[in-house]
Amino acid sequence: MSQTTVDRAVDERLALITDAGLVAHGRGSAAYDALVTGFNLDQSVSPVVVVRPRDAADVAALVRLANEHGFGVGVRLTGHGLSPALDDQVMVHTGDLAELHVDAEGRWARIGAGVVWQRVLDEAAAHGLGAIAGSAPSVGVVGYTTGGGLSPVGRTYGLAVDHVRSFDVVTGDGVLRRASATEDPELFWALKGGRGTAGIVTALELDLLPLAELYGGAVFFDGADAATVLRTWNAWSAELPPEATTSIAFLRLPPLPDLPPPLAGRFTVSVRFAWAGPLDEGAAVLAPMRAAATPVLDGVGRLPFAAFGAIHTDPADPMPVVEDHTLLAGLPDEAVDALLARVGPEADCPQLLVELRQLGGAYRTGPDAAFAHRDAAFTVHTVGLAVPPVREAALAHNGALLAALAPWSTGGRLPNFASRTDAGWYRAVYGEAGVARLRAVVLAHDPRNVLAGGRALRAATD
């Protein structure tokens, strides 16, 4: 097809959508450029048109139009976790679905698909409540939750999906539905981990947590002490009660002026800790870990829930990154040695971050959901800067690290980390039975194969 023919097709698609009364932006406009740029600058997307629905009815109208005219529709908010490819599709940007209502008495919230966690944390905190947020408050509530949602208080409260009362969702047939344990329960199951495969969520209702404050934050150690700190963390975390959630991160941060001097331009190890038990007991629980070596920075203390992001101190600004991920069944001494050989002080490790999160506790139980792998013991997640030549080095290191940890890997993956759309990825995330069940929900609700998430699943697992 010539460029002129392509341009004409794009213009026609844009005209079709705007004629239907929807707010849409085509390639070449400043609004389009702003809406397609997301958190991970390594993942550029090129949809034909970006639509900004004002409400759920707009989403339903767009999906009905897609059914009539045979085009694909994908969805995105922040770009923290793109999947599947949105190229040459119509992309729904949910930024204007910004409703947020907290029912303090009933301890729940109604949250639009355009809301990021920090808004919920602030609003809930105003009522003395907390929420099952992820590590980065700039992540979208719906994107995170439809991927299961692993929280820095997850060992105490479980997955984010365990707290969802209902989803409002537009399915591929263009129908706006409500999915809950009693209304369309199979669709509800699929949305609890299936990300955007089964529908475009326009809002969800979520239980809040009876917690205004935690004892939490991060203690940073010098990278030279990495071996002692990791071995201590491994032994200490094995004995923690479920009121405690912890992770450890090997950080090699660039010498940026806005980073605290003890962390900028050097190798450090961060132990993250969140204690949801009685506040005055938190320090004693953390004490053995604090004593592992001399901290270079100690940021653990009483933490208002609205400052939840201080536990992981994730970056908030967009940057180009490459990631990888696996799940471990356990972390015996041999696995610790294998890890240290690739991320310890002697290693040539190009990653900005290699992180292990301890699972267990409340993760192990919860209502039936598309999210699998409740039994895994640890997650491993790598993040490298995607700027040549570091990008290639980070990709190679990812491969070598995951191969070295393979003897202890469960072979599973979580929906929210390093997402892809190939058959192997879907099987690793949902298992054979989970993929079959998810496909059945998609086929039942999207007969014309319109939604990008469902399309990708179908194409990979046909």
3-state SS, 134-189, equals CCCCCCEHHHHHHCCCCCCCHHHHCCHHHHEEEEEEECCCCCEEEEECCCCHHHHH
Residue 268 sits in the site that holds ligand FAD (CB under 6 A): no
78 binds ligand FAD per the rule CB under 6 A: yes
Rounded distance between C-alpha atoms, residue 306 and residue 127, angstroms: 11
Q: Which of 67, 89, 118, 135 binds ligand FAD (CB under 6 A)?
A: 135
CB atoms < 10 A from the CB of 284, how many?
A: 10
How many residues form the binding site for ligand FAD (CB under 6 A)? 32
DSSP code, position 239: T
Answer yes or no whether residue 36 interacts with ligand FAD by CB under 6 A: no
Burial of 388 (0-12, 13-18, 19+ CB in 10 A): exposed
| Residue 413 interacting with ligand FAD (CB under 6 A) | no
Is omega for the bond preceding 447 within 30 degrees of 0, making it cis? no
76 binds ligand FAD (CB under 6 A): yes
Please tell me the distance from the alpha carbon of residue 393 to that of residue 400, in angstroms, as a whole number.
10
Nearer to ligand FAD, 149 or 223 (CB): 149
Q: Are 312 and 247 in contact (CB under 8 A)?
A: yes
Residue 54 has phi, psi (to 5 degrees) of: -90, -20
Q: Which is nearer to ligand FAD, 56 or 336 (CB)?
A: 56
Contact 124, 133 (CB under 8 A): no
Q: Which residue lies nearer to ligand FAD by CB, 26 or 38?
A: 38
Cβ distance to ligand FAD smaller for residue 59 or 289: 59
Residue of minimal CB distance from ligand FAD?
A: 81
CB of 427 to ligand FAD, least distance (A): 18
- Judged by CB under 6 A, does residue 77 bind ligand FAD? yes
User: Which stretch, 14-22, 71-79, 224-232, 424-432, contacts ligand FAD (CB under 6 A)?
Assistant: 71-79
Site membership for ligand FAD, residue 412 (CB under 6 A): no
Task: By CB under 6 A, name the one of 32, 144, 189, 250 that touches ligand FAD.
Answer: 144
Under rule CB under 6 A, which residues in 151-190 are in contact with ligand FAD? none
Q: Which is nearer to ligand FAD, 113 or 405 (CB)?
A: 113
Q: CA torsion, points 442, 446, 451, 454, in degrees to nearest 10?
A: 20
Distances (CA, A) of 20 to 23, 69, 86, 222: 9, 13, 22, 59
Contacting residue, 81, 137, 217, 350, with ligand FAD by CB under 6 A: 81
Tell me which of 397, 453, 454, 457 binds ligand FAD, using CB under 6 A. Answer: 453
Residue 397, judged by CB atoms within 10 A of its CB (0-12, 13-18, 19+), counts as buried
201 vs 327, beta carbon nearer ligand FAD: 201
- For ligand FAD, give the closer residue by CB, 117 or 233: 117
CA distance 418 to 379: 12
Q: Does 200 participate in binding ligand FAD (rule CB under 6 A)?
A: yes
Minimum CB distance to ligand FAD smaller for 234 or for 419: 419
We find the least distance from the C-beta atom of residue 205 to ligand FAD, in angstroms, to be 14
Distance in angstroms (rounded) separating the CA atoms of residues 22 and 18: 5
Tokens of 169: 């969702």
**Rule CB under 6 A: which residues touch ligand FAD?**
38-39, 75-83, 94, 113, 134-136, 139-140, 142-144, 146-147, 149-150, 195-196, 200-201, 314, 416, 453
